[in-house]
Chains A and B, each alone.
Chain A
């Protein structure tokens, strides 16, 4: 479905990180945590392709969706310059989304940098199902950590790591994650972030025998499963389309190169 979303808020919230709220009732009604929206940034042809942006907020009751996005190139720069009241051409919701039907109560959510974005609606859904949630949030530095209050308001336990030690533990998400796996009962793990992080998290879950899901990304052409630009090999030798088979995959499903 293509929906013209109306921008309600577009604010700078951290280093190169922006947060946008849009009125988009149809998508807000249909979307599930882990899905994404393919955003067209101009009616002209440059930039040509839509930009896949994960859903950071899904408010079906009020018909509002939220993006948390990192300004990395031409497309996201244009996005950051849009103003309240502007409309944005949205194609979605796309992709499969997270599943929350796991056995047990305790979920660990791991976000690396802007990869934390889709974890927030997931946490809300898990909390609504009375699960207990721990978020391990890794970033380069303190300025790159955003929207923490949202998690704390929902009484999620939050563990911060930064590469430079300017906030939380110095280092990567893997150290506190392995400590949790070793010392506590963890029923299910969700992770989203850079591929090196996903790979390390996945190795740990396989080592400790815990199931979970990762949300991944790839350069996309269409977002609809037709162009095969994002086709990624699985461990079974078959390709997966990140856009329609994913972006969420089971731990151990994808083959890392």
Chain B
């Protein structure tokens, strides 16, 4: 056991290390058991859940772009009832905190989802997805308007006692104003960023490469965008941020922590190497040891706080 402290808090949820998964890139976790020790993750963030089942978007749903992938899955999932009955108990057996990503096509659905999941002890936190670029109603349409983000956050908070994380869209002019709206709505944490709206064209068929026409860009191509948004937002809010967007190595994860993220999410990185999360957990710990840090909080936001700021404790989670 390492002497370095890697535990962080998001609201009332304490996770043993800052590594979680990006919703929709890790299934429920069960699919990844052959490659990942689920018990070693800080938290598992599961595939987005909606009130009713969704079939998702037409194929093709995925195309590769330079150092990135453009996807338009469209929140395919079996619906919250099936998730709670069939999937949740199996994932809960691993005793790693489970963060459930919830998405509504109308604002009241977020409240209803929070209410349903409130009864489930196995759910450690909710992540309100107001940023999916691949659904026509709800999703990103909500996440680009500060007033709507505030309303969704407030409604979810009113219907749950669990920590509420709000997953923000990068497809906005001013990420800070959206982040502040979520904080004012009562969010316990923020997750940024979701994928960046993009397009690819298949020049042989002379049409967009994806069945849904546009999709969300993820992977290393978006890492600088995500880092910049974490860096700006972390200085403007007091709640913790789960930073993600293009993390494929522990070095990427350290960058996000230094930009001000309290935790990190691995998304597309799981597709390159299914054991990426494990390597990031170990790599963060080793980096801290090698550089003489005793607590992860010493490097959170160090890129803007300066070298000595971290030693005085973390304003974000008062540790």
Contact = CB atoms under 8 A, between A and B. Distances in A.
Q: Do the two chains bind?
A: yes
B219 interface: yes
Nearest to A229: B62
B56 A222 contact: no
B271 A49 contact: yes
Contacts of A50: 271-272
Interface in B57-85: 58-64, 66-69, 71, 73, 76
Interface residues of A, number: 29
Interface stretch (A7-15, A20-28, A166-174, A231-239): A231-239
Nearest to B26: A226
B219 A45 contact: yes
A150 B302 CA distance: 62
A227 B22 CA distance: 11
Interface of A: 1-2, 40, 45-50, 91, 218-233, 239, 244, 257
Interface string B115-149: 00000000000000000000000000000000000
B87 interface: no
B6 to A, nearest CB: 25
B174 interface: no
A227 B73 contact: yes
B32 interface: yes
B294 interface: no
A27 to B, nearest CB: 13
A53 to B, nearest CB: 15
Given A49-B271, A226-B26, 11 more contacts: A45-B220, A46-B66, A46-B67, A48-B64, A219-B60, A224-B31, A226-B270, A227-B62, A230-B59, A239-B76, A244-B31
Interface in B76-126: 76
A229 B31 CA distance: 15
B60 to A, nearest CB: 5
Given A233-B55, A239-B76, A48 B69 contact: yes
A230 B60 CA distance: 8
B62 A48 contact: no
A226 B271 CA distance: 9
A215 to B, nearest CB: 17
B255 to A, nearest CB: 15
Given A46-B66, A220-B62, A225-B27, A231 B272 contact: no
Given A227-B24, A229-B71, A239-B76, A2 B275 contact: yes
16 contacts: A2-B274, A45-B219, A48-B271, A91-B274, A218-B60, A219-B59, A221-B62, A224-B32, A224-B35, A226-B24, A226-B47, A226-B270, A227-B62, A231-B73, A231-B76, A233-B55
Contacts of B32: 224, 226
Contacts of B25: 222, 226-227
Interface string B213-237: 0000001100000000000000000
B239 to A, nearest CB: 28
Contacts of B35: 2, 224
Say which size band chain B's interface belongs to: 35 or more
Contact of A231 (B56, B219, B248, B270): B56
A221 B69 contact: yes
B218 to A, nearest CB: 9
Interface of B: 24-27, 31-32, 34-35, 47, 55-56, 58-64, 66-69, 71, 73, 76, 219-220, 248, 268, 270-275
A223 B272 CA distance: 10
**Most B C-beta atoms less than 10 A away, residue of A48, A49, A222:** A48
B248 A228 contact: no
Contacts of A91: 274
A47 B64 contact: yes
Contacts of B76: 228, 231, 239
Contacts of B69: 48-49, 221
Contacts of B274: 2, 91, 222, 224
Contacts of B58: 257
Nearest to A223: B271
A233 B59 CA distance: 10
A48 B219 contact: yes
B237 to A, nearest CB: 30
A239 B47 CA distance: 16
A45 B60 CA distance: 22
A231 B274 CA distance: 19
B34 A1 contact: yes
A31 to B, nearest CB: 15
**Those 5 A-B pairs whose CB atoms lie nearest each other, nearest first:** A229-B62, A226-B27, A45-B67, A45-B220, A222-B271
A3 to B, nearest CB: 12
A228 B31 contact: no
A220 B69 CA distance: 11
A30 B220 CA distance: 33
B226 to A, nearest CB: 15
A239 B56 contact: yes
A69 to B, nearest CB: 17
Contacts of A233: 55
B260 to A, nearest CB: 24
